[in-house]
Amino acid sequence: MRRRLIFWLAPLLGWLALHPVYAKDMNFVITMDRADLQRRVDRMFPIIRENPLITVRLRHPQVILREGNDRIGLRLEIAASAAGQFSVSGLATVDGVLRFVSDSGEFYLDDARVRELRIENIPPPYEEQIRLLADGVVRDLLPERPVYVLGQLGEAKRIMGSEMKSIAVRSGKLIVELALP
């Protein structure tokens, strides 16, 4: 038994001596499926933006993960009312790029924008105003609300000095790789 252990241990130690592994070469990988990400995004909504003329409500998000894409999409119900004159509702498709803040271990959606807006029975000028207001809502508020915080899946709360190395969607899962310092 001891000879067998030495037989396998000697080549392993030789290989390690020739191929050193450095801590800076290691990465931390977080994998989330759509359902897991959906539970976290649900906590961010509804989002309501009001100004004196128009009120816009974004609610019931559905996470969209597109294979080979680094943007996270959301399909949202949108409801708008203009100065108590009329109310409309429809669907909006929004997407954004994931940003990691290493000090807090939080992930945010940056560069968020409305890609598609479908509201029936509304004149085009009002649709454009609602689009602009909705785009302002997602651009202003999504980058301030964390989509995910490290520690929710049991990983280390903080990975000080880490930076996001890559993000990808593979096999319906969001895969985020953090480069350790």
Mind listing the pLDDT tens digit of every residue in the chain (181 residues)?
666 656 655 565 555 455 444 444 567 788 888 888 898 889 888 988 887 877 888 899 999 998 877 788 999 998 888 777 778 889 999 999 888 887 787 888 899 999 998 888 777 777 788 788 888 888 888 888 888 877 655 555 555 557 778 888 888 888 888 887 6
Rounded-to-integer distance, Cα 80 and Cα 132, Å: 12
DSSP state of 171: T
Give pLDDT, residue 101: 84
Tell me how far CA of residue 153 lies from CA of 32, 37, 77, 157, in angstroms: 9, 11, 28, 10
Q: How many CA atoms lie within 13 A of 141 on its CB side?
A: 18
Give pLDDT, residue 155: 54
Strand partners for 65? 72
pLDDT tens, position by position, 131-169: 888 888 888 888 888 888 776 555 555 555 577 788 888
**Max Cα distance, the chain (Å):** 87
Give pLDDT, residue 161: 55
The structural domains of the chain, ordered by start, are: 23-179 (3.15.10.40)
Radius of gyration of the chain (CA): 23
Give pLDDT, residue 54: 79
pTM of the model: 0.73
Rounded-to-integer distance, Cα 128 and Cα 82, Å: 13
